[in-house]
Structure 1
Amino acid sequence: MDCGVITSKTVLLLLSLAFWAAAAGLTYVGAYVINTYRSYDSFLQDKYALLPAVIILAIAVVMFIIGLIGWCSTFRESRLGLGLFLAIILIIFIAEVSAFVLGFVYREKVKADVQVTMRSVFEKYDGKSEESTIMDYLQEQLHCCGVKNYSDWTTTQWFNATGNNSVPLSCCMQEMNCTGRLDQPQELYTRGCADELESGLQSVISYAMLVILGFAIVKFFGMLSVCVLTCRREDSGYQPLYSGVFA
């Protein structure tokens, strides 16, 4: 075998191993994105924002099998197997590019989506409903208060109904000795939840996009290696040491 064939086989074998490692990595990324969105799904109207994560998980499901096909086909230099491997890589490459584009689109839509839906949930706060529990959880986890800042609570029906000039205790930096009263602002979170949520969701999407882009680049070089290996084999008449079912 010449240097080009050896290099191509090495790349493809490493790519097969990368498929197995990527299966675990993509599963983690996809699950993390979905879990993050589910934590704040009441603030997101556009459920298609989960589409990039769903695509990532779908790719991860078949990743181990694809790695096995690639390993066996490369080791045996099966023309049919390598052709199948190339087709699979091409399909995944297209899916990853699509996920990358969708991630970019929805990353830009997050800000408008969060602003509208958060305001709707915020105005329905009564301290008892499911929406109220979600709002309290959001403020506690993100260390924020209100949509823009804690003064937003003064315009809500809940604030007027209680009449004690205070915000929910979830706005307190420390629960001990904090009553949520507006005349003690030093005890309250000052940043609004909209900015915190937007920043968090955009960071998650950006991370997922970076991972997708990295794997897409690897797939591109893998497709080139398959082409080199099959073309060199046909041109040189080289016969592999092992013959397989797909040879």
Structure 2
Amino acid sequence: MSGKHFNVHEVGCCIKYFIFGFNIIFWLLGVAFLSVALWAWSEKGVLSNISSITDLGGFDPVWLFLVVGGVMFVLGFAGCIGALRENSFLLKFFSVFLGIIFFLELTTGVLAFVFKDWIKDQLKFFINNNIRAYRDDIDLQNLIDFTQEFWECCGAFGPEDWNLNIYFNCTETNLSREKCGVPFSCCTKDPAEDVINTQCGYDIRAKVELEQKTFIYTKGCVPQFEKWLQEHLTVVAGIFIGIALLQIFGICLAQNLLSDIEAVRESCLFT
């Protein structure tokens, strides 16, 4: 008696659960980012007054946590459920979405290299716009202070950029005690001081430039960022290449799992 022999296809369990584990980490990280963002907004009272979102003149760092957390949450969810339930639609969504992000990152990198001067001007505009709103939001204030301390800089291109802020400008109508000064994050650090002197920048811009160099950083954050980028180019490039390889690896795994699922379904049709 002759019998028919069929090629039995099975979904690879290793790939399936590797994608599931890989994405559940991203999903949990997305939840963490979203939780931090919502907590920050609740502390600032934004959740009780949604219209206050538009009140900030500068950049609210919480938006960064929301966007990154949202993308990671959606991708992680699609990848986890798609792999666990062998759902072709979710796996295709995960693969395409990850591919779009990879393409956007690649395009951004190329455009940033081609339009370096335009990017530099936009960065200056961005920093100056946030200098104006320095006292409007505590998260923004902390972000600017961290940036100036980390890159040992002051303002976009120098301390005079702080004239854009109503509390620090040198105009006669300014009655603030911080008039003609800079934030404490512009001050050079004394290793002997354990406690930060938050008043170290008072009246500093009323002094001559040579004297200012003794007390504050006189280089702007834009040139300091360029200098830092050149000095750490290998590390930065390595990080971006690593992220890109992870994305490509995720897409390949998802496509491999999709092929196994389609092969199993086709084999079921002919049995």
Residue by residue, what CA displacement relative to the aligned partner does 1:58-88 show, whole Å, maximum 9, x if unpaired?
1213443333323xxxxxxxxxxxxxx3333
**1:185 aligns to what?**
213
Q: CA separation of 1:87/1:154 partners in 2, compared to 1, >3 Å: closer, same or farther?
A: closer
Q: Which amino acid aligns with 1:58?
A: V
Number of residue pairs the alignment of both structures matches: 209
Paired AA for residue 22 in structure 1: F
Task: Please report the RMSD computed on the Cα atoms of aligned residues, expressed in angstroms.
Answer: 4.8
2:102 pairs with 1:95: no
Among 50, 64, 70, the residue aligned to 1:54: 70
Distance 1:231 1:186, change over 3 A: farther
Counterparts of residues 32-181 of structure 1 (less than 5 Å): 42-43=58-59, 54-70=70-86, 85-104=87-106, 111=119, 114-125=123-134, 128-130=135-137, 133-134=141-142, 135-140=144-149, 143-153=152-162, 158-160=168-170, 161=174, 166-174=181-189, 176=193, 179-180=200-201, 181=204
Match of 2:247 in 1: 212
Which residues in structure 2 correspond to 1:21-40 (within 5 Å)?
Answer: 21-27=21-27, 30=30
- Report the Cα offset of residue 142 of structure 1: 5.0
Q: Which runs of 5+ in 2 are unaligned?
A: 41-56, 113-117, 230-235
C-alpha distance in 2, partners of 1:33/1:210?
23
CA distance in 1, matches of 2:72, 2:26: 6
CA distance in 2 between counterparts of 1:43 and 1:114 reads 12
SS in 1 for 2:85: helix
In 2, Cα distance between the equivalents of 1:29 and 1:113? 30
Shift of 1:146: 0.9
Letter in 2 for 1:148: F
Q: AA paired with 1:69?
A: R
TM-score by length of 1: 0.58
Counterpart CA distance in 1 for 2:126 and 2:187 is 23
Asked if the contact 1:52–1:99 (Cα under 8 Å) also holds between the matched residues in 2, the reply is: no
> Whose helix fraction is larger, Structure 1's or Structure 2's?
1
Identity %: 14
Shift of 1:93: 1.3
* TM-score, normalised via structure 2 length: 0.54
**d(CA) in 1 for partners of 2:27 and 2:188?**
35
State the structure with bigger RCO (CA 8 A, min sep 6), 1 or 2.
1
Q: Is the 1:29–1:208 Cα contact (8 Å) retained in structure 2?
A: no
Q: 2:128–2:156: 8 Å Cα contact kept in structure 1? A: yes
